A and B are shown apart, each in its own frame.
Chain A
Amino acid sequence: MHVLTLLAVLLCISLLGFRISQSRALSLARTAGLHSLPYHHGQFASLAILLPGLGVILLWSLLEAPLALWLALDHLPVPPNLADGEVRLLIAEISNIAAGYGGRQDPALLAAAWHYRELRQTSFTLAASVAVSVSLGGLVFAWRRVTPSHQARNSVERVLKIFMILCSALAVLTTAGIILSLLFEAFRFFVHVPFTAFLFGLEWSPQKALPAEQIGAVFGAVPLFTGTLLIASIAMLVATPLGLLTAIYTAEYAAPHIRTVAKPLLEILAGIPTVVYGFFAALMVAPALRDTGAMFGISISSESALAAGVVMGIMIIPFVSSLADDIMSAVPQSLREGSLGLGATQSETIRRVVLPAALPGIIGGILLAASRAIGETMIVVMAAGLSAHLTANPFAAVTTVTVQIVTLLVGDQEFDSPKTLAAFALGLVLFVVTLALNFVALQVVRKYREQYE
């Protein structure tokens, strides 16, 4: 029997329990007033059946494999005092053979593998029978609890609430885990490289092989920060005016039928995979810029911050325009009429009433777009290059924090070399910056919301 079959059986029992309890509650309801509705009793029964059954299966799946291996090792006629690594090797081999990928046909190992398989079989049968019997027990339990006074609804709701709390706790714990691992690994990096050398150093060339004492000299992240800032600023310079003007058009001037078409079309821009933008930037925009530059006698390298920034700006236009549009549409029509009623023109109304009222929200949208620009990787890898230069020249090749994280982790790396750990330190910086941006943006947007309530 397979685990899935077992689950199906449990599900059938719980359905059965639902029907039985519900119909019993229905017949009871004819004679006495029930505290809970019949289907609450049904749900109570389903839960009373499923929860213990699933609990048994979960427990078994956690314990059976290590337990069976441990027993199988005991069965092996080799001296038991092996080193840790060898035992792990043996275990791997046994489970491989048991799964049917026989490598070395050592009879003793084979026997152990057979034993292992049998053990797992028995344990599964055991677990299955236990699971089915506790479910049946749950069925009986729930059936006997179908009484007028039983508060089935409250119990069901409590269980559901706990389930939801567990789900949200999972998300929160994952986030906390990621942050902790970032912090921890970054800390290990700062053991090799001094914190100040990393934050304020001007040279970034982690590929250089240097003795351990001087290693701090090549992990200066300032060129990465300036590169990120340069590209993100170019992107914001492109996205903010275009996005805002677009939003003003769609929210204030466009006829309804144009708006319903234009808005989703714009939002498609945000849905295009960034790789596509990347090769658009690398294969079309960058060469075009270089040729244009050559015409005017400016040398623009074929990988330039400008190309990456412009394309990234186009990518985040919808972040700005869509949010700004929503926020401007949320400005009450009565304010517009108030202004128009005083003899203001439409553009005066937009400039003096709608935009100021929507401003905090718009700033929030721009900040969200900026945090997106800072975190963007693909376009920069493809269009702005990989070499870290400390420059403010938009025509030069630069690199960003995210790109360096990628290059540090690609390929064969020792996990605890400073080079790999540097990625975590960069990740931490990035995380702190985007978190701060998001926090500020959300604060601003929230403040805006309170204004009309």
Chain B
Amino acid sequence: MSLSSKKDAQRVSLGDSLLVETACAKLAARNVNVFYGEKHAIKDVTLDINCNEVTALIGPSGCGKSTFLRCLNRMNDTIDTCRVTGTITLDGENIYASKVDSVYLRTRVGMVFQKPNPFPKSIFENVAYGPRIHGLTSSRSELESVVLTSLERAGLLEEVRDRLHASGISLSGGQQQRLCIARAIAVSPEVILMDEPCSALDPIATAKIEELIDELQHNFTIVIVTHSMQQAARVSQRTAFFHLGELVECGGTEQIFTNPVNRLTQGYITGRFG
């Protein structure tokens, strides 16, 4: 429990041209480099993620979006060859400091993956998983209400109300992804990281998830990786464009899509890339 929740936006360096200075930076990356063995996957990235906003990470395949996203909750710790330098702060505290417990960090920074990955357990158990391991609830009825609220907020409750004890795997792809979002919400994180959450879904399921992101934005800080320009434009307030491991441009989504500063960004968003 070493991360204090004290808000500390003042440490954002105002001189950095890439930053848009807003009231509160939930997550702040400073000169982050990531290496997979010899491979230099993220090069000196400095980026702020504001609270109660949706930040979209875009860029061509292999540019390091997932890698950067996984740095934000230290998911890269699970890869043996991966090495991270620089600092990332959550509410002003360095999450790579040696006294920080990555397990506790991940309860504050949750993650939704590209492919829906519900546990082979019942729908109820999937959502109850997080509250259970953290001992967040003291009674069965409290647990039930947490599960139901989470499903509700993920927009799944109506569809599964009468089969909470069916296997999570029996749901459709879109429902599975919303189940995973409900599962992430259930531990009440402060930040939710989403790595291409809609890439395995059809347009209707995608629209549902996008609606959901709009809803969630009021309570959570959201970082989303996406390959769809339209999606980035629809759901995010800020957009960061990555290219070959470098952060090329970052700004308000409006501005990035209508008036990009960098030629590379312009090429990418207009589809004239390369």
Nearest residue in B to A341 (C-beta to C-beta)? B111
For the complex of A and B, the 5 pairs showing the least CB-CB separation, nearest first, are A343-B107, A341-B111, A334-B117, A343-B106, A342-B130
User: Within residues 316 to 370 of chain A, which ones have a CB less than 8 A from any CB in chain B?
Assistant: 332, 334-345, 348, 352-353, 356-357
Q: How far is the CB of A178 from chain B (nearest CB, A)?
A: 40
**Interface range for A:** 20 to 34
Nearest residue in A to B114 (C-beta to C-beta)? A334
Nearest residue in A to B120 (C-beta to C-beta)? A357
Q: Are B80 and A342 in contact (CB-based, < 8 A)?
A: no
Q: How far is the CB of A86 from chain B (nearest CB, A)?
A: 75
**A340-B75, A343-B133, A343-B134 in contact; A335/B117 too (CB < 8 A)?**
yes
Q: Is the interface of B mostly helix, strand, loop or mixed?
A: helix
State whether the Cβ of A413 lies closer than 8 Å to any Cβ in chain B: no
Q: Mark B174-205, 1 if CB is under 8 A from A, else 0.
A: 00000010011001000000000000000000
Q: Mark A128-171, 1 if CB is under 8 A from B, else 0.
A: 00000000000000000000000000000000000000000000
Q: Kindly state the separation between the CA atoms of A348 and B132 in the bound complex, as whole angstroms.
A: 11
User: Within residues 103 to 147 of chain B, which ones have a CB less than 8 A from any CB in chain A?
Assistant: 103-108, 110-111, 113, 115, 117-121, 129-130, 133-134
Q: Are A340 and B133 in contact (CB-based, < 8 A)?
A: no
Q: Are B104 and A343 in contact (CB-based, < 8 A)?
A: yes
State whether the Cβ of B73 lies closer than 8 Å to any Cβ in chain A: yes
Q: Kindly state the separation between the CA atoms of A353 and B183 in the bound complex, as whole angstroms.
A: 14
Given A255-B80, A341-B110, 13 more pairs with CB closer than 8 A: A335-B117, A335-B120, A337-B113, A338-B119, A340-B78, A341-B111, A341-B184, A342-B187, A343-B108, A343-B134, A344-B129, A352-B129, A452-B120
Nearest residue in B to A342 (C-beta to C-beta)? B130
Q: How far is the CB of B1 from chain A (nearest CB, A)?
A: 12
Q: Kindly state the separation between the CA atoms of A337 and B107 in the bound complex, as whole angstroms.
A: 13
Q: Which of B78, B120, B121, B183 contacts A342 (CB 8 A)?
A: B183
**A255-B80, A352-B129, A352-B133 in contact; A451/B110 too (CB < 8 A)?**
no
Q: Are A357 and B73 in contact (CB-based, < 8 A)?
A: no
**How many residue pairs bridge A and B at CB < 8 Å?**
69
B105 neighbours in A (Cβ, 8 Å): 343
State whether the Cβ of A256 lies closer than 8 Å to any Cβ in chain B: yes
Q: Are A342 and B75 in contact (CB-based, < 8 A)?
A: no
Q: Kindly state the separation between the CA atoms of A255 and B118 in the bound complex, as whole angstroms.
A: 27
A356 neighbours in B (Cβ, 8 Å): 120-121
Q: Kindly state the separation between the CA atoms of A255 and B78 in the bound complex, as whole angstroms.
A: 11
Nearest residue in B to A257 (C-beta to C-beta)? B80
B106 neighbours in A (Cβ, 8 Å): 340-343
Q: Are B103 and A339 in contact (CB-based, < 8 A)?
A: no
Q: Kindly state the separation between the CA atoms of A337 and B130 in the bound complex, as whole angstroms.
A: 13
Q: Kindly state the separation between the CA atoms of A352 and B113 in the bound complex, as whole angstroms.
A: 19
Q: How far is the CB of A291 from chain B (nearest CB, A)?
A: 46
**A341-B75, A342-B110, A343-B134 in contact; A256/B117 too (CB < 8 A)?**
no
Q: Kindly state the separation between the CA atoms of A343 and B103 in the bound complex, as whole angstroms.
A: 5
Q: Kindly state the separation between the CA atoms of A357 and B168 in the bound complex, as whole angstroms.
A: 13
A256 neighbours in B (Cβ, 8 Å): 80
Q: How far is the CB of A445 from chain B (nearest CB, A)?
A: 16
**Interface range for B:** 20 to 34
Q: How far is the CB of B188 from chain A (nearest CB, A)?
A: 11
B115 neighbours in A (Cβ, 8 Å): 334
Nearest residue in B to A348 (C-beta to C-beta)? B133
Q: Kindly state the separation between the CA atoms of A452 and B106 in the bound complex, as whole angstroms.
A: 26
Q: Are A338 and B75 in contact (CB-based, < 8 A)?
A: no
Q: Kindly state the separation between the CA atoms of A344 and B113 in the bound complex, as whole angstroms.
A: 16
Q: Kindly state the separation between the CA atoms of A348 and B118 in the bound complex, as whole angstroms.
A: 16
The listed residue with most B CB atoms (<10 A of its CB), out of A335, A339, A340, A341, is A341
Q: Kindly state the separation between the CA atoms of A341 and B108 in the bound complex, as whole angstroms.
A: 10
B103 neighbours in A (Cβ, 8 Å): 343-345
Q: Are B184 and A342 in contact (CB-based, < 8 A)?
A: yes
Q: How far is the CB of B107 from chain A (nearest CB, A)?
A: 3
Q: Are A337 and B75 in contact (CB-based, < 8 A)?
A: yes
Q: Kindly state the separation between the CA atoms of A256 and B106 in the bound complex, as whole angstroms.
A: 25
A357 neighbours in B (Cβ, 8 Å): 119-120
Q: Kindly state the separation between the CA atoms of A356 and B117 in the bound complex, as whole angstroms.
A: 15
Q: Kindly state the separation between the CA atoms of A348 and B104 in the bound complex, as whole angstroms.
A: 13
**A256-B80, A337-B75, A337-B78 in contact; A342/B117 too (CB < 8 A)?**
no
A255 neighbours in B (Cβ, 8 Å): 80
B113 neighbours in A (Cβ, 8 Å): 334, 337-338, 341
User: Within residues 87 to 115 of chain B, which ones have a CB less than 8 A from any CB in chain A?
Assistant: 103-108, 110-111, 113, 115
The listed residue with most B CB atoms (<10 A of its CB), out of A343, A348, A352, A353, is A343
Q: Kindly state the separation between the CA atoms of A452 and B111 in the bound complex, as whole angstroms.
A: 22
Q: Kindly state the separation between the CA atoms of A389 and B60 in the bound complex, as whole angstroms.
A: 75
Q: Which of A343, A345, A451 contacts B130 (CB 8 A)?
A: A343
Q: Are B111 and A353 in contact (CB-based, < 8 A)?
A: no
Q: Kindly state the separation between the CA atoms of A337 and B105 in the bound complex, as whole angstroms.
A: 14
B187 neighbours in A (Cβ, 8 Å): 342-343
Nearest residue in B to A334 (C-beta to C-beta)? B117
Q: How far is the CB of B187 from chain A (nearest CB, A)?
A: 6
Q: How far is the CB of B90 from chain A (nearest CB, A)?
A: 14
Q: How far is the CB of B127 from chain A (nearest CB, A)?
A: 10
Q: Are B133 and A337 in contact (CB-based, < 8 A)?
A: no
A341 neighbours in B (Cβ, 8 Å): 73, 75, 106, 110-111, 113, 184
Q: Kindly state the separation between the CA atoms of A336 and B113 in the bound complex, as whole angstroms.
A: 12
A452 neighbours in B (Cβ, 8 Å): 120
Nearest residue in B to A256 (C-beta to C-beta)? B80
A343 neighbours in B (Cβ, 8 Å): 103-108, 110, 130, 133-134, 187
Nearest residue in A to B81 (C-beta to C-beta)? A256
B108 neighbours in A (Cβ, 8 Å): 343
The listed residue with most B CB atoms (<10 A of its CB), out of A337, A342, A344, A357, is A342
Q: Kindly state the separation between the CA atoms of A357 and B126 in the bound complex, as whole angstroms.
A: 13
5 contacts between A and B (CB under 8 A): A337-B75, A337-B113, A340-B106, A357-B120, A452-B120
Q: Kindly state the separation between the CA atoms of A172 and B80 in the bound complex, as whole angstroms.
A: 48
A352 neighbours in B (Cβ, 8 Å): 129, 133
Nearest residue in A to B108 (C-beta to C-beta)? A343
